[in-house]
Amino acid sequence: MTLANRNMVTIDDLSRGEIEAVFSLADQMADSRDKQYGLCKGKIMASLFFEPSTRTRLSFETAMHRLGGSVITASDVGATSLSKGESIADMARVIGSYADIIVIRHPWEGAARVVADYAGVPVINAGDGGHEHPTQTLCDLYTIKKERQTIKGLRIALWGDLKYGRTVPSLVYALARFGATILFRPGPGLELPEHVMNKLGSEYTGRLERYANLNEKVKQRLFPLDAIYITPSKPHQLANIPSVSAQVELEEGVDVLYVTRLQMERLAAGEEGEELKRDYPVVDKKLLREREFEKTMVLHPLPRVNEMAREIDADPRSNYFKQAGLGVPIRMALLALLLGSQEAAITEDKEPFNRPGEHPLYRRGFGVRCANPRCVSVQKTEANYIKPEFKIVGRRPVTLRCAYCEHEVYPRYVASTDWHEGKLDSKKYHSADSHWSTKIKPENLIIFDSASDAKARGFKPGHYARADGEK
Ligand code: CP
């Protein structure tokens, strides 16, 4: 099967079978590295890194050189015409006419998707703000598989900055699809964002237990958790009492500890970086002496700052430099597949949780915009051509997920294009948490963020329309 001309903007762009195919090809690439030279001869990769990078950029560029292809690069917005006000879409169109594949890192969430929409060549997301970093997840899963042969059933603890780290959402969704148990251990104030929790809890087959539902015995353990996600496969995991399964999981120890640094560069205005640094949990020799971590593999996407003591570098459980090294064969495999230089040997399995569910779309271009200030769709240079697009993921209250950055929006009012039985005097709008929100068919749904917006389009308040500001 071919993966030629596909994009990799989020980890969900590849099925589980396709991810396994990347791993098989990466094995081949690593085993016979020198024989791969020439596989992408004549192909050009555009390497656009508008945020700092050591591993991702240099491993992609190394991968393309090892395949015999060429690289063109831009690594500073100030040295490109983006700094003159050019849109990402125009840049993508132009670079798509120069290169055969584009790898992009950009601070705006959803930027890689815009590039993919306009480039006309395959696009790989090398990190878009705090949204996703799917090729890092390929490196993470590949490292785990190489060491443990499987991902299914493993207990994987995510440690540190779960709020701003972009490697975390990509990894969380992939682990859920591969059937792992996920233990969330954030630094104080750095919990997994609600929209990621909500997607994890509603789109995959596992069960998400929040801290508040766990019993005191679990809460008092040395290893303090915010939440646990369990894909049921063993009898205790099927227990209906959340704390029972969580407790057994903890007693069995942690297979992988995935450490992340505090993403200082993404803190919100007014957020106290010094406080977050002071309370940040550190992984050191003392922690790894605890029973839970006896057989734990320690991973880190790197770079590290102070969250992981250098004293554990020589510990055989530390695998993070190996993980970074595996970035080259993984990215060689991915480039060769998306450029069509190699076919993928895919065995699709029949297990559930292979892909998140489909949702109806809302894309009228008016009534609602993404509330995330880091979303590409609300940036000055982009907002005049990007039509807001949302997945309708909840009906009461109406909940929308931005198609670019995946943040959730809870709009205030709903109306219908069929004016409720076609009568003009029924051109009414209602609160988005009223029963009307479930009655209107998704294809007829109109959404308004304010009463004035609804009135400007000729709608009157219905019986179930609270005034703006009313609770
Ligand atoms: N892991 C990772 O993305 O590292 P870089 O920021 O150095 O690319």
Kindly state if the Cβ of 327 falls inside 6 Å of ligand 1.
no
Residues 81-136: pLDDT tens digits?
A: 999 999 999 999 999 999 999 999 999 999 999 999 999 999 999 999 999 999 99
> Ligand 1, residues 50, 53, 166: which to mutate, most atoms within 8 A of Cβ?
53
pLDDT at 463: 77
Confidence category of residue 252, pLDDT binned at 50, 70, 90: confident
pLDDT at 34: 93
Q: Which atom of ligand 1 is nearest to the CA of 52?
A: 6
Which tokens is 426 given? 């029924």
Q: Ligand 1: distance of its center to the CA of 102 in Å?
A: 17
Mean pLDDT of 203-224: 74
pLDDT at 223: 62
Give the span between the Cα atoms of 60 and 335, in whole angstroms. Answer: 9
Kindly state if the Cβ of 361 falls inside 6 Å of ligand 1.
no
For ligand 1, atom 3: residue with the closest CA: 56
Confidence category of residue 350, pLDDT binned at 50, 70, 90: low
Kindly state if the Cβ of 55 falls inside 6 Å of ligand 1.
yes
Q: Ligand 1: distance of its center to the CA of 57 in Å?
A: 8
Instruction: Report helix, strand and coil shares of the chain as percent, to nearest 5.
Output: 40, 20, 45
Q: Ligand 1: distance of its center to the CA of 166 in Å?
A: 10
Q: Which atom of ligand 1 is nearest to the CA of 327?
A: 1
Give the span between the Cα atoms of 333 and 25, in whole angstroms. Answer: 6
Alpha-carbon torsion 309, 313, 314, 320, what sign? positive
pLDDT at 246: 63
Q: Which atom of ligand 1 is nearest to the CA of 105?
A: 8
Kindly state if the Cβ of 301 falls inside 6 Å of ligand 1.
yes
DSSP strand pairing (413-416 vs 408-409) = unpaired
Q: Ligand 1: distance of its center to the CA of 136 in Å?
A: 8
On the question of pLDDT at 207 being above 90, the answer is no
The b-or-e profile of 35-73 (16+ CB within 10 A means b, else e) is: ebeebbeebbbbbbbbbebebbbebbbebbbbbebebee
Which tokens is 207 given? 């069960």
Confidence category of residue 470, pLDDT binned at 50, 70, 90: low
pLDDT at 44: 98
For ligand 1, atom 5: residue with the closest CA: 53
Q: Ligand 1: distance of its center to the CA of 470 in Å?
A: 46
For ligand 1, atom 6: residue with the closest CA: 53
Q: Ligand 1: distance of its center to the CA of 75 in Å?
A: 14
For ligand 1, atom 4: residue with the closest CA: 55
Confidence category of residue 468, pLDDT binned at 50, 70, 90: low
Confidence category of residue 283, pLDDT binned at 50, 70, 90: very high
pLDDT at 251: 74
Q: Ligand 1: distance of its center to the CA of 77 in Å?
A: 18
> Ligand 1, residues 48, 136, 263: which to mutate, most atoms within 8 A of Cβ?
136
On the question of pLDDT at 215 being above 60, the answer is yes
> Ligand 1, residues 47, 51, 54, 128: which to mutate, most atoms within 8 A of Cβ?
54
pLDDT at 60: 98
Q: What's the order of all strands across the beta sheet hosting 408-409?
A: 361-362, 390-395, 398-402, 408-409
More confident residue, 271 or 145: 145
Mean pLDDT of 360-377: 94
On the question of pLDDT at 140 being above 60, the answer is yes
For ligand 1, atom 1: residue with the closest CA: 301
Which tokens is 391 given? 């997945």
Confidence category of residue 14, pLDDT binned at 50, 70, 90: very high
Kindly state if the Cβ of 417 falls inside 6 Å of ligand 1.
no
Mean pLDDT for all residues in the chain = 91
More confident residue, 231 or 145: 145
Give the span between the Cα atoms of 212 and 217, in whole angstroms. Answer: 12
Mean pLDDT of 376-387: 96
Give the span between the Cα atoms of 193 and 177, in whole angstroms. Answer: 19
Kindly state if the Cβ of 165 falls inside 6 Å of ligand 1.
no
Query: Of 49, 38, 41, whose CA–CA distance to 72 is shortest?
Result: 49
Kindly state if the Cβ of 302 falls inside 6 Å of ligand 1.
yes
Which range among 47-61, 111-125, 359-373 shows the weakest confidence by mean pLDDT? 359-373
Which tokens is 183 given? 């233990």
Kindly state if the Cβ of 54 falls inside 6 Å of ligand 1.
yes
Residues 155-203: pLDDT tens digits?
A: 999 999 999 999 999 999 999 999 999 999 999 999 999 999 999 998 8
pLDDT at 205: 83
Residues 405-457: pLDDT tens digits?
A: 999 999 999 999 887 666 656 789 999 999 888 989 999 999 999 999 999 99
Kindly state if the Cβ of 136 falls inside 6 Å of ligand 1.
yes
Confidence category of residue 344, pLDDT binned at 50, 70, 90: confident
Which tokens is 233 given? 């496969």
Alpha-carbon torsion 278, 283, 285, 290, what sign? positive
Domains of the chain: 11-129+325-338 (3.40.50.1370), 135-318 (3.40.50.1370), 361-461 (no CATH)
> Ligand 1, residues 49, 56, 265, 328: which to mutate, most atoms within 8 A of Cβ?
56
Distance of CA 76 to the CA centre of its chain: 24
